[in-house]
Homo-oligomer: A and B are copies of this chain.
Amino acid sequence: MPELKTKKEQIYEAAARSFRDKGFAATSMRDLAREVGLTASSLYNHIASKEEILQEICFRNARRYLEELDAVEKMTGNSIEKVQALLHLHIRLATEDVTSITAFNDEWRHLSEPYLSDFKQLRRDYENRFKTILREGMAAGELKPLDESIALYTLLSSIRWLYDWYRPGRSMRTEVLERDLVDMLMRGLTLNPARSD
């Protein structure tokens, strides 16, 4: 008799929303319990601690981003197409899944050791592999020769406004958003103006 969403999943989702809206530290277990229809103490039949929720959200998403990066690395195509694919990935995850944002943005800071160091390592791996794609593109003359770090962090953070601005069903269509945003970023990166379609 499986339910569509387990209570555990409901707790993770409510937590992710609250972490995004108020931050990890300002989210109390009592508020969280109320949102899923339990008392605070009953939460602990589903999860071990407040931080375990954060750990699960952070590492689940880290794995997800790394898997998608695997796929992009194996893609046939030049660096421009690979960078474009990664931008689409980030935009899609940011608009579709609140948990990804919590992991990628600020809340991972509240992990305790050794999880904090582990997460930072995964993040560094991701960044280095993304930078490699940028570097190869610059070497091949496909991308403008910029400082790799500046280019990478600017791309990644330029998408961050989506998480507190974009809400599904609002005025803007996701396809328009994705096209304009990727187009704008790719133009800043490529040697000659290139449309993304």
Residue of B nearest to A192 (CB): B193
B160 touches A26 (CB 8 A): no
Residue of B nearest to A171 (CB): B149
- Verify if A29 is at the interface (C-beta below 8 Å from B): no
Residues from chain B with a CB closer than 8 A to the CB of A25 are 22-23, 25-26
Q: In whole angstroms, how far apart are the Cα atoms of A153 and B153 in the complex?
A: 16
- Verify if A80 is at the interface (C-beta below 8 Å from B): no
- Verify if A185 is at the interface (C-beta below 8 Å from B): yes
Minimal beta-carbon separation of A179 from chain B (angstroms): 10
- Verify if A75 is at the interface (C-beta below 8 Å from B): no
Residue of B nearest to A146 (CB): B180
B109 touches A22 (CB 8 A): yes
What are 7 contact pairs spanning A and B, CB under 8 A? A22-B109, A144-B184, A147-B172, A147-B180, A149-B165, A185-B188, A187-B187
